[in-house]
């Protein structure tokens, strides 16, 4: 018998073993309460010869989970394709890995009403009370089990078996899924205000939540909000509004007639755009129209299950313009910014309890007489969500193992085979022609893949890569590779990168010099020893609202400073579906052409990047890509010159991977690639470089 630490009787070996396993199980359960990480100092106790021995383990890395969809916005009836990524640094007990997709609306508003009450003196008095009204409705809510451990659900013993306690295995995993949205979904919307009648809150919201279900502890989970657009046909021509108005001063004295026509450039606008309102006034009266206003008006109608209603009507933005003298006519093109106090306007929505509608009011101010008013209904839709567009996955996601695909309606979910391409650096690859093939490897702006250490590793792998030389390719030039890191890493990458690869910046400003804090001067970039710059990337156009004209001006200023430009062009999904691809890319090219002399085109590489294929896992077929590239080359021949058409490299950028680059490279007019997700995987990027030599 061995003495215990307290001096009592010793404990039998069997009892020590049971107590040991009990303590281990208790520590595991306690650990599950610590979210997704081990406690900083985990004390594991075992009884050995009646003595308590403590072992202290160092802190562990956190387990990670995130979900990412192939697009940031959808319309009812479309199929959401996405992937749940899971990184297990230390094993955890888990019942399941599940996905919840939900869409719903909620409204809340307060009303004030007067009621009678009995006073202390026996008389009846009145008072104003505030009453809360609310309503909610769920459009859909779907639970999807990606992984299920039935054993964990059936354990009733106080000490589950150790095989079950082992929990989720360590490693990196990805679970593709797809879900077909119901049709006729209302657009996302959110509003919160306090007014004379009390508080108003309402929203239409859609989200995806991924959960690792941990028994007796806090689940490991994440969520992504989804933007749903109101279903509209943006190709319908805008309506033309006509109104004839008899001017009656003091409401009774006829002074003649005014004929007014108004129309807008579109019937649907993205929040933040500027609507172009055309107004034509033929004033045949004897009264001057002093001025006229254009106003964006929003009407929110809220309702509850019990029939209570609240309507909120407000002017969101307005502009004032010069009027029309008597016995004269005037046409005016009136820009109307679609913003609210400097921020974007909430979209249109047509839910069960929440309806948000917009109209543009054209209001002619006529002194001493009723005004002439025209109301033009418009639809507002949300911009591309910035958090989705800027989201960047951790580096481990590229190596995550693809698990079984789960599909609920619609086509099966595509397996990404790595991190979502929107989270990746970008690269540019081209097959060899009589001029050099170009490959540009661009780090996107995020922490995980933008650290000093991650950049060092990427550069090391690029430096060690074997790529074809001009001797092995059999052409006068070999591939030209350009790496474009984020600005703070340009210097370190430039110093450490192999000499046959070039370094670029991701943007420059449109002025050669001046007080433009935070911008890059093209001359400073050139002075630093760089040769390349990327201009007009879809994210710059979409998120930072860079117009075609600004892209053209930047291109000209950069070339004048001695830089070579990767000029990006491409259409959105809606534009492609409405057969506007060529119209869009030709318009973007025309804005560049307007700023350049013919000889300056030798410093331009055109990058066709269809926006619908960037970060979606979708890729244009080789035939689709070739068709657009050929159209671009013909446009250059017609609008610039045949020489520019033949000499200009036109590269493709839309979810290019090592698995499809070789086939794309066989097409006659595809001179390279602007690569997305493959840039996170140097071996894949090297495959794309080498594919250029096989054309």
Measured CA to CA, the distance from residue 493 to residue 507 in angstroms comes to 17
Residues with Cβ within 8 Å of residue 605, at least 6 apart in sequence: 438, 564, 565, 566, 567, 648, 649, 650, 651, 672
Measured CA to CA, the distance from residue 661 to residue 658 in angstroms comes to 5
Specify the residue for token string 């802190």: 59
Contact 608/653 with Cβ under 8 angstroms?
A: yes
In 3-state terms, what secondary structure has residue 276? strand
The token pair that represents 640 in the structure block = 């610039």
Measured CA to CA, the distance from residue 344 to residue 355 in angstroms comes to 18
Nearest-5° Cα angle at 428, 426 to 434 = 175
What is the residue-wise DSSP string for 623-690? HHHHHHHHHHHHHHHHHT-HHHHHHS-EEE-SS--TTTHHHHHTSTT--EEEESGGGGSHHHHHHHHH
CA atoms within 13 A on the CB side of 396: 16
Strands (E), 149-187: 171-180
**Alpha helices, DSSP H, located in 398-534:** 452-464, 470-473, 490-496, 522-527
The token pair that represents 38 in the structure block = 């081990």
Measured CA to CA, the distance from residue 187 to residue 206 in angstroms comes to 9
Check residue 658 and give left, alpha or beta (phi > 0: left; psi -120 to 50: alpha): alpha
The token pair that represents 591 in the structure block = 């804005």
Contact 210/223 with Cβ under 8 angstroms?
A: yes
Phi, psi of 517 (to 5 degrees): -55, 130
Measured CA to CA, the distance from residue 373 to residue 364 in angstroms comes to 6
Terminal-to-terminal C-alpha distance of the chain = 82
Which of the 8 DSSP states describes residue 348?
P
Calculate the alpha carbon distances from 412 to 81, 405, 655 in Å: 8, 7, 19
Classify strands 42-48 and 268-270 as parallel, antiparallel or unpaired.
Answer: unpaired
H-helix or E-strand spanning residue 13: helix 13-32
Is 537 labeled as catalytic in the residue annotation?
yes
Residue 605's CB is within 10 A of a number of other CB atoms, namely 26
Measured CA to CA, the distance from residue 27 to residue 33 in angstroms comes to 10
Measured CA to CA, the distance from residue 518 to residue 541 in angstroms comes to 18
Contact 397/283 with Cβ under 8 angstroms?
A: no
Catalytic pick from 537, 546, 575, 629?
537
Measured CA to CA, the distance from residue 566 to residue 22 in angstroms comes to 64
Calculate the alpha carbon distances from 560 to 204, 511, 593, 604 in Å: 49, 11, 14, 12
Specify the residue for token string 């313009």: 321
| Most distant pair of Cα atoms in the chain: their distance | 119
Just list the catalytic residues.
537, 609
């Amino acid at each position: 018998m061995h003495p215990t630490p307290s001096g009592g009787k010793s404990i039998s070996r069997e009892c020590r073993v049971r107590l040991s396993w009990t303590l281990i199980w208790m520590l595991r359960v306690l650990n599950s309460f610590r979210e997704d990480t081990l406690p900083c100092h985990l004390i594991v106790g075992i009884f050995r010869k009646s003595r308590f021995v403590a072992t202290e383990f160092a802190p562990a890395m956190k387990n990670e989970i995130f979900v990412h969809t192939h697009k940031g916005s959808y319309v009812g009836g479309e199929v959401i394709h996405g992937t749940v990524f899971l990184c297990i640094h230390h094993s955890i007990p888990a019942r399941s890995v599940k996905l919840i997709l939900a869409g719903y609306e909620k409204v809340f508003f307060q009303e004030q009403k007067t009621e009678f009450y009995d006073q202390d003196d026996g008389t009846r008095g009145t008072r104003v009370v505030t009453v809360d009204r609310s309503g909610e409705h769920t459009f859909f809510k779907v639970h999807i089990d990606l992984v299920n451990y039935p054993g964990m659900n059936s354990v009733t013993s106080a000490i589950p078996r150790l095989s079950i306690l082992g929990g989720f295995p360590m490693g990196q995993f990805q679970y593709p899924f797809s879900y077909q949205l119901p049709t006729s979904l209302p657009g996302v919307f959110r509003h919160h205000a306090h007014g004379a009648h009390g508080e108003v809150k309402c929203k239409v919201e859609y989200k995806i939540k991924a959960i690792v279900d941990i028994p007796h502890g806090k689940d490991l989970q994440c969520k992504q909000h989804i933007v749903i657009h109101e279903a509209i046909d943006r190709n319908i021509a805008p309506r033309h509004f006509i109104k004839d108005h008899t001017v009656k001063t003091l409401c009774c004295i006829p002074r003649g007639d005014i004929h007014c026509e108004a129309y807008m450039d579109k019937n649907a606008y993205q929040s933040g755009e500027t609507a172009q309102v055309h107004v034509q006034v033929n004033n045949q009266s004897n009264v001057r129209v002093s001025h006229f206003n254009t106003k964006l008006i929003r009407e929110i109608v809220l309702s509850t299950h019990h029939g209570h209603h609240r309507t909120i009507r407000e002017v969101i933005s307005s502009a004032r313009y010069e009027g029309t003298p008597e016995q004269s006519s005037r046409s005016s093109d009136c820009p109307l910014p679609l913003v609210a106090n400097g921020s974007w306007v909430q979209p249109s929505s047509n839910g069960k309890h929440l309806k948000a509608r917009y109209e543009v009011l054209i209001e002619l101010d006529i002194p001493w007489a009723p005004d002439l008013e025209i109301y033009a209904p418009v639809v507002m839709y949300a911009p591309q969500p910035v958090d989705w567009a800027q989201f960047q996955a951790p580096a481990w996601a590229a190596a995550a193992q693809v698990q079984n695909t789960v599909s609920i309606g619609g086509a099966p979910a595509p397996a990404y085979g790595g991190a979502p391409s929107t989270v990746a650096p970008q690269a540019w690859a081209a097959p060899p022609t009589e001029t050099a093939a170009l490959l540009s490897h661009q780090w996107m702006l995020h922490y995980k893949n933008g650290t000093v250490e991650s950049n060092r590793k990427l550069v090391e792998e690029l430096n060690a890569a074997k790529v074809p030389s001009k001797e092995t390719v059999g052409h006068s030039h070999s591939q030209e590779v350009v790496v474009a890191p984020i600005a703070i890493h340009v210097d370190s990458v430039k110093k450490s990168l192999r000499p046959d690869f070039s370094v670029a910046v991701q943007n420059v400003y449109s002025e050669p010099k001046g007080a433009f804090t935070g911008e890059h001067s093209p001359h400073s970039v050139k002075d630093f020893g760089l040769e390349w710059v990327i201009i007009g990337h879809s994210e710059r156009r979409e998120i930072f609202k860079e117009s075609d004209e600004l892209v053209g001006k930047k291109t000209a200023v950069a070339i004048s400073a001695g830089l070579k430009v990767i000029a990006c062009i491409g259409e959105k999904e809606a534009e492609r579906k409405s057969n506007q691809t060529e119209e869009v890319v030709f318009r973007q090219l025309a804005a560049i052409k307007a700023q350049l002399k013919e000889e300056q085109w030798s410093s331009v590489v055109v990058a066709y990047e269809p926006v619908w294929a960037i970060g979606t896992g979708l890729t244009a077929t080789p035939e689709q890509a070739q068709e657009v590239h050929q159209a671009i080359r013909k446009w250059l021949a017609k609008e610039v010159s045949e020489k520019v058409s033949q000499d200009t490299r036109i590269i493709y950028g839309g979810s290019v991977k090592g698995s499809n680059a070789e086939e794309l490279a066989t097409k006659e007019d595809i001179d390279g690639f602007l690569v997305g997700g493959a840039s996170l995987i140097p071996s894949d990027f090297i495959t794309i470089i080498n594919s250029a030599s096989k054309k």
